[in-house]
Amino acid sequence: FYCEKPEDLNPQMIKKKIDSFIQYYNQKRELKYLGYLSPLQFKKQYEQQNRI
């Protein structure tokens, strides 16, 4: 919110930003619960498991 112009901050815009954050957070939480790993996370985990 800090980088926005004060005149652009209205209740609808604030609600939209909060809703998008909640959606992003819930998506990350669901993917973590399901055990999904991004390609980068999978590579790191694979390298750690196969160290000699």
pLDDT at 2: 59
Query: What span, in angstroms and rounded, lies between the C-alpha atoms of 17 and 1?
Result: 9
In tens digits, the chain (52 residues) has pLDDT values of 556 677 767 888 889 889 999 999 999 888 888 888 888 988 998 999 888 5
For the question of whether the overall pTM of this predicted structure is more than 0.75, the answer is no
pLDDT at 3: 62
Query: What span, in angstroms and rounded, lies between the C-alpha atoms of 22 and 29?
Result: 10
DSSP3 helix / strand / coil % (the chain, rounded to 5): 75, 0, 25
pLDDT at 11: 84
pLDDT at 19: 94
Query: What span, in angstroms and rounded, lies between the C-alpha atoms of 36 and 46?
Result: 14
